A and B are shown apart, each in its own frame.
Chain A
Amino acid sequence: MTIVENAPPAQTEEATPSAGRPSRVPRFVRRIVKADPKYWIFAVVTAVLVYEILVPLVMMVWSSLNEKRPGNPEFFDSESLTFGNYSRAVTGTAGEAALNTAIFAIGVTVVSFLLGGFLAWVVERTNTPLRKLLTALCLLRLFIPGVMTTFAWILLGSPEIGLVNKFFDSVIPGVDGPIFNVYTMWGMIWVESLDVIPLAFLLMSAALRSTDPSLEEASLMAGKGRLITTFRITFPLILPAMLAAVILILIRGFETFEVPALIGMQAGIFTFVIEIYLNTNGVPSDTGLAGVYAVAVLAVCACLIWFYNRMTRNADSFATIGGKAFRPKRANLGRGRWVTLAISLVIMLASVGLPLLVMIWSSLSPAYKPMQPFTAEGFSNLSLDNYRLVLDNPTTVRAFMNSAVLAAAAAVLIVFLISIVAWITVKTKIRGRKLLDHLAFAPIAIPAVTMGVAFLWFYLSVPIPVYGTLWILLLLYIARFTPVVMRLLSASMTQIDDELMEASVITGASWWRSFRTVALPLLRPGMVAGGIFVVIHAFRELSASLFVQTGGNEVVGVTMWSLWADGSYALLTAFGIMVLIVITVLSLAANLIGSRFGIRE
């Protein structure tokens, strides 16, 4: 069907393919030029996403099948293709790494899901006091960079210097020697779980909040008790959301970098992610082997995402996900609510309180003695010297500036790009929009490390001069944070009633005017949320930046990593606290702006 711009009867002739007047311009060119601008936008946006996401991935797979390194002139020769890297990996350490990765990821999922799910239940469904505080602490935990919390738990749980161990050693009689060793698989699982608890908490409380309480009330009316209702009604209702949460946490376990790097490498427990890191940044590097591991992690995560998509699609058939905000009934726990409060506080103490306390203490301690004990003498040694050092150090200052610019630029570009993508996929009927949807969401399955390696190799082998500049980091961040923003924005786009847009088009407004004056303003809350997400995460991004960052282009995350690697622990903690403050202030400010200019409904 041809789209005709003005069609009084006389003009309709022109649109008829057979009756066109002779013209030198080919028909398909005229058709393209005359096409609705949304097709142009569709084409451009698709091209951008393909370039950003598909191309580096293809490069990575190519590299895993190649005996030459990226950058080598023969790299693109098909003759250098081989399965040699794969057989080397299988006969080498792949088996052990696979086992470690699986135990680690599954362990983290079990522990963090149980603890995070418990917190969600306490906050959403019981009358436990201080629920708001628990939520706030969970959110605060999201702002703390992973390197910091991991390092804090090293300070707390290492066998020799760990403060927890020292505490139990000295205070409780009969305990001799360390009771907790962070340099074990269990130690790794514990530290990573504490990092994932907020994610589990947020996913589960969203699921619990969106359950229609009348479904449970109906069961109570039918004469079933609370317990039976919980198992027969509540659990089945939130099961899809629960499984989706489990999958997201599993992916996190597979791709996480900080804990395996800071603790695992020390303990001699190597996961896939560490193998990728060592084979890329170690000496001698082995890009073929790194490629194999990267492909392996990618394959696992892609399978999980496939399950996730199935799960969330089926979730529609359950009555749980309503747009309405329900007010579920809270269980009255009686005196038991003090028990749930105590357990929750202990979890939050381990997850937020202790690490933060240790970081602050350490950041104020003398640089030569970052792990000094909590004694009167220790208190007298405290000073702001480390903070001064951070502010005087050109590298850390540059990292702050670079990360701020990158985070802001990435946030603006992603939100702009994805609001168009969300509009195309949700509100238009352009053929191929599903493809765009998948393309924008696909990077969720690409582990950060894999993506970093892919970008490194791609820009080393093609003559696009971005390696060694901030641009490569910007391109990387755009690819990395696109999927979450996609989910956020397509969700808010779905909530905008179709008729609001149709009402605009009907008045004679062009699609562009409709998009600009109706869709964008209504989308603003989602855009602010997406922007905050990108800023918080891009500002302290480590595991992907690690591969493409070069001297002079330091970013916050990698600088923290380097400080740790150099043993500048006091500087690291002071720097980390400052990063935390910046992120918290940024997101509070963004939230304020968002609520000021967002729609009040």
Chain B
Amino acid sequence: MIRVRGLVKEFPGGVRAVDGVDFEVPKGSLVTLLGPSGCGKTTSLRCIAGLEDPTGGTIEIGDRVVFDAAKKVLLPPNKRRIGMVFQSYAIWPHMTVFDNVAYPLRNTKTNKAEIKDRVMASLELVGLAALAPRRAPNLSGGQQQRVALARALVAEPEVLLLDEPLSNLDAKLRESMRQEIREIQQRLGITTLYVTHDQVEALAISDIVAVMSGGNIVDFGSPQRIYEAPRTRFVAEFIGLANVVPVSKVAAAPSDDMLRGVAPMGPMTFANNDTGQAVADEASVLVRLEDIELSRERPADQDNVWRGTVVSALFLGTHFDCVIEVGGQRMRAHAQRAAKLKAGDEVWVRVPAGCALRLRDDGAPVAAGSSAAADADDSATATTPLLGLAP
């Protein structure tokens, strides 16, 4: 388990890379810190590793306090019992694969036979046992990645930290490696913190995703919840492809958690995702590209149906990526391959009311309550994430 409270890292010059971050990685689960570059995710990870000295807050790993600003506790990184995979893999070029993996064990007084057994077991785990005597520079990127993972795991650390481990691999390899990492993580049941800027990777691999922006965590929840019901406009636009439609004259629709308003396309019904926030006159509404239905004939349904013109349609293999102008509002949508759309075609656009969600416009940090509530219904993890531990 990793527990981080009020973590602050201020660099010389007053830049706050991490600005009061709270989160917990429950024992045995994989949490991803996801965000654009400069959001503070790597700095947070490095603070947990002990490679950066934080300015404030506390960090606990397992049952040990490794950092506490108030009590002046700062455990050096070599005492934290951490396994870490670096972005550059950091495979030592002057050692063989075996020596690289054996390195963490040689810190402890482990006898030679046991070192050999454990190194080979670890290499077996990543499928590289045959390459043990190879010199490290003679490995491909994917193989170096596996060596790095084997080295991080060989000493059976309390937690595993991964800093953008797949960003230097090509797309195909990235997909298979992320599956492999997830499998190994689940087999060993090791508590893992994973940093990435790739939202697809984060969704695929995590138990819980923490979206970071400007040194804060702005959303925290299961991948599905984060994708389907992002808390803020930033999260919605960062994860997946999104249309954000401005709606005015918002009023409560017949049912409680539905709202109605006037969009540029015409009247629109949408779900009130953020029940914690009072209903204002104006709202931003999220419509995912794949939720938009396009048809040449007018649909039977009356709600959220508008007529539009195709501005452009790019063929992407599995589908068309279209831009459609509806009443002055441009919307991106996916059309089936069979639709054979081209620029200038007139189409009917329909958005199922349940698939349009009201968003918060601000990027305020996650506070206790609201997001835990949002998570309660669909969070797959056993432990409810600990959030907002502010006094």
Contacts and interface: CB of A to CB of B under 8 A. Distances in A.
B146 interface: no
Contacts of B80: 506
B49 interface: yes
A497 B74 contact: no
Given A16-B72, A599-B94, 16 more contacts: A1-B72, A1-B74, A3-B76, A6-B75, A7-B64, A15-B71, A499-B86, A499-B87, A502-B86, A502-B90, A503-B151, A506-B51, A506-B78, A507-B107, A510-B78, A601-B93
Contact of A497 (B75, B79, B88): B88
Contacts of A2: 72-74
B64 A503 contact: no
B42 to A, nearest CB: 11
Contact of B78 (A7, A497, A505, A518): A505
B137 interface: yes
Interface string B353-387: 00000000000000000000000000000000000
Interface in A496-520: 497, 499-500, 502-511, 513, 517-518
A5 interface: yes
Contacts of A497: 88, 90
Interface string B121-154: 0000000000000000100000000001001000
A521 B94 contact: yes
Given A9-B65, A508-B107, A502 B53 contact: no
B6 interface: no
B92 A518 contact: yes
24 contacts: A6-B75, A6-B79, A8-B63, A12-B65, A16-B71, A499-B88, A502-B77, A503-B148, A503-B151, A504-B92, A505-B78, A506-B51, A506-B77, A506-B82, A506-B83, A507-B78, A507-B107, A508-B78, A508-B104, A509-B78, A521-B94, A600-B137, A601-B93, A601-B137
Interface of A: 1-9, 12, 15-17, 36, 497, 499-500, 502-511, 513, 517-518, 521-522, 599-601
B81 A7 contact: no
A518 B106 CA distance: 14
B348 interface: no
A502 B51 contact: yes
Contacts, number: 107
B90 A508 contact: no
Contacts of A506: 49-51, 77-78, 80, 82-84
Contacts of A16: 71-72
Which of B50, B83, B84 is most buried by chain A, counting CB atoms within 10 A of its CB? B84
Contacts of A504: 92, 103
A3 B83 CA distance: 21
B255 to A, nearest CB: 52
Given A499-B90, A504-B103, A518-B92, A12 B68 contact: yes
Contacts of B65: 7, 9, 12
A508 B83 CA distance: 9
B84 A503 contact: yes
B104 A507 contact: yes
A507 B155 contact: yes
A1 B90 contact: no
B195 interface: no
Contact of B73 (A12, A499, A510): A12
A507 B86 contact: no
Nearest to A9: B65
Nearest to B86: A499
A508 B79 contact: yes
B120 to A, nearest CB: 18
Contacts of B63: 8-9
A4 B74 contact: yes
Contact of A508 (B53, B81, B86): B81
A599 B108 contact: no
A3 B68 CA distance: 12
Contact of A5 (B50, B79, B82, B108): B79
Q: Closest 8 interchain pairs by CB?
A: A507-B104, A503-B90, A499-B90, A499-B86, A521-B94, A508-B107, A12-B73, A506-B84
B74 A507 contact: no
A438 to B, nearest CB: 19
Contact of A599 (B75, B84, B93): B93
B107 A7 contact: no
